[in-house]
A and B are shown apart, each in its own frame.
Chain A
Amino acid sequence: MARIEFDQIAHSYYPNPREPSDYALKEINTLWEDGGAYALLGPSGCGKTTLLNVISGLLQPSRGRVLYDGTDVTALPPEKRNIAQVFQFPVLYDTMSVFDNLAFPLKNRGFNRADTIRRVKEVAEILDLTQDLNKKAAGLSADAKQKISLGRGLVRSDVAAVLFDEPLTVIDPHLKWQLRRKLKEIHEQLKLTLIYVTHDQVEALTFADQVILMYEGEIVQIGTPEDLFENPRHKFVGYFIGSPGMNFLPCTLEGQNARVDGITIPLAEETAALGAKAAGALELGIRPMHIEVHAAAVNDGVPVTIEAVEDQGSFKILSTTLNGHTLRARVPEGHPVPERQAWLRFPPLRTKLFADERLVI
């Protein structure tokens, strides 16, 4: 178990990187606490797998240091780092039994037979694999196989962290939540540092205590799932998290109010003050679920045209236009949906301001 620290980590797949865009990881400085469940979230190509491979040692970063509990491990190969990694698809030794698969990392490290048997049995117990120990690993279902690859990591008692690289991609949907719950259980039971890479926000938000959102080789925000949802620090966080993502409207500031194409939207006092200090192009951002939808004109209401209504089951998504800007609003089930014309109200406390794509702070 270990605290993981990144000190100015940067990586490029090119031998001689020049432009910032040559870097898969731009510059990462962060600290992950021992025993935390972290999710690395981001779209494909944002550098999350690269960062994971830097942690595991499968990749040597171009610059910077990785520290485990304060010890520099940057130069250590993966087998010396005591980490476990679970890959996108189950990686098994096909010709071996489940027992031999689980015992393999111990065998390679010269553990004696009795210790090996004891450890393998313990891990099999945790993962509900005891009844399969004597079976061939190749014949099992995808979720059992994924548990075996996880078990190969857990079998070493001193494992520093368990890394998951989109481990549920090949698992049937109905087994996904079971396996995810199993991971949670293991986390609570063993107090291991878990790092989970995914592009699926639902997975990240349900799994992790802390979500690390990455975008174009940089960490844009680290926070609890609520934090990411309520206080996106970057425009990207706003529209990546949430379905649909945050609404953005280019605006100007006028005292306490934001002006969007001549329409006045009131802001919270604090927000307006921060906005006044910020430099760069201002944008107003609000989550679809925070927008109030009214069928008749209300105080501070903005008149919009309704373009489409999408029924999502427990709620409806309204697509509306305001002077050519698209605004999406979420209407709970049972709430009347106006036709063609509606008035939207932006609760000032929920309305955020962004300057040059970053939240004003």
Chain B
Amino acid sequence: MEKWADNKAWLLVLPVFVVVAFSAIIPLMTVVNYSLQDIFGPGNAVFVGTEWFKEMLTDKRLHDALGRQFIFSGLVLLIEIPLGILIALAMPKKGWSASASLVTLAIPLLIPWNVIGTIWIIFTRPDIGLFGVGINSLDLLDIPFDHTARPAYAWVTLMAMEVWHWTPLVALLCYAGLRAIPEAYYQAAKIDGASSWAVFCYIQLPKMRGVLTIAVLLRWMDSFLIYAEPFALTGGGPGNSTTFLSIYLVKLATGQFDLGPAAAFSLIYFLIVLLFCFIFYQVLLNVGKGEKIS
């Protein structure tokens, strides 16, 4: 290709560059700056190199929070993706019932995070909550249900909240993916005598790969960064049982004011999210694409 002598077109990129600089690059660089110094007060900072990184990488509480985070995000994907696909498959294809179910599904997505927390706290409270009072009156549990009493109860409440809030997103994405499959595929499958399970495996699932990639990435990233729900529910408790990475990070940064370690932690956190997004993206992009078949 011929090279342009006149490169003024670069100027058109400038506005975007400025916006990105202020929204992402400069804040990130501030974090990098903090992570390399020990700051005692304004104008009183000492360069410490990679010390904070070493400290954070060997921090046991960080390891525990990371472990919890993996279990939580893993469970979120394991529950929300299959459930979302099932809902999408069960949804009506046209008519008023299709519109009605779409709107109903979208409602949880419109509610702010902390409001969701509040709704579910009230719903599960053992004294006034519909669920809390209801399940305790059945007398099935050895310890009465109270999300502040046992880690398992807190986790159940948190998962219920997360699944209720975000499964609709997965379902809507899958629904869009399913609707985009031309009718001829189903007709061909009928003529070929395929069972509905075969239709799901060989037509619907492969055709949903694009939207599922997006759903998995979004749900992974989002659940990996979860903050408002556990914060509203128990503030990370009982004990440390729902202290996920972001809760621990905020405790470190604004609770204990350890800006250096918190900044190093942030960068590690960022890299982990980035790494997993990359892995998921690559795996989902290449799944079932190999040229050689036995």
Contact = CB atoms under 8 A, between A and B. Distances in A.
Given A91-B184, A136-B289, A108 B198 contact: yes
A108 B193 CA distance: 6
Contact of A79 (B191, B202, B207, B288): B191
A143 to B, nearest CB: 17
B190 A152 contact: no
Nearest to A100: B293
Contact of A108 (B195, B289, B292): B195
Interface in A49-98: 56, 58, 77-79, 83-85, 87-89, 91, 93-97
A95 B198 CA distance: 12
Contacts of B192: 79, 104-105, 108, 152
A21 interface: no
B130 interface: no
Contacts of B288: 94-95
A87 B190 contact: no
Given A95-B288, A97-B293, A136-B291, A79 B193 contact: yes
A93 B201 CA distance: 10
A136 B293 contact: yes
A93 B288 CA distance: 12
B95 interface: no
B288 to A, nearest CB: 4
A335 interface: no
Contacts of B207: 94
B188 interface: yes
A87 B193 contact: no
Interface in B140-175: none
A149 B189 CA distance: 11
A84 B190 CA distance: 10
A245 B291 CA distance: 50
Nearest to A53: B187
B42 interface: no
Contacts of B198: 108
B194 interface: yes
B114 to A, nearest CB: 42
Q: Which of B193, B195, B291 has the most CB of A within 10 A?
A: B193
Given A91-B184, A91-B188, A149-B188, A104 B194 contact: yes
Given A78-B190, A109-B193, A89 B293 contact: no
Interface in B265-285: none
A206 interface: no
23 contacts: A56-B191, A58-B190, A58-B191, A77-B190, A78-B187, A79-B190, A84-B191, A85-B187, A89-B182, A89-B184, A91-B184, A91-B187, A93-B202, A93-B203, A94-B207, A95-B202, A104-B202, A105-B191, A105-B193, A134-B293, A136-B289, A136-B290, A149-B188
Nearest to A81: B191
Interface residues of A, number: 31
9 smallest A-B Cβ distances: which pairs? A79-B193, A108-B193, A87-B184, A91-B188, A105-B192, A93-B202, A95-B288, A97-B293, A78-B191
A332 interface: no
Interface of A: 56, 58, 77-79, 83-85, 87-89, 91, 93-97, 99-100, 104-105, 108-109, 134-136, 138-139, 149, 152-153
Contacts of A138: 289
B294 to A, nearest CB: 9
Contacts of A105: 191-193
A332 to B, nearest CB: 44
Nearest to A98: B293
Nearest to A109: B193
A91 B206 CA distance: 13
B270 to A, nearest CB: 35
B195 A58 contact: no
Nearest to B185: A91
A194 B207 CA distance: 31
Contacts of B206: 93-95
A274 to B, nearest CB: 46
A77 B185 CA distance: 16
Contacts of B193: 79, 105, 108-109
A134 to B, nearest CB: 6
A108 B184 contact: no
Nearest to B188: A91
Contacts of A152: 188, 192
Q: Which of B191, B202, B203, B292 has the most CB of A within 10 A?
A: B191
B191 A85 contact: yes
A105 B194 CA distance: 7
Contacts of A153: 191
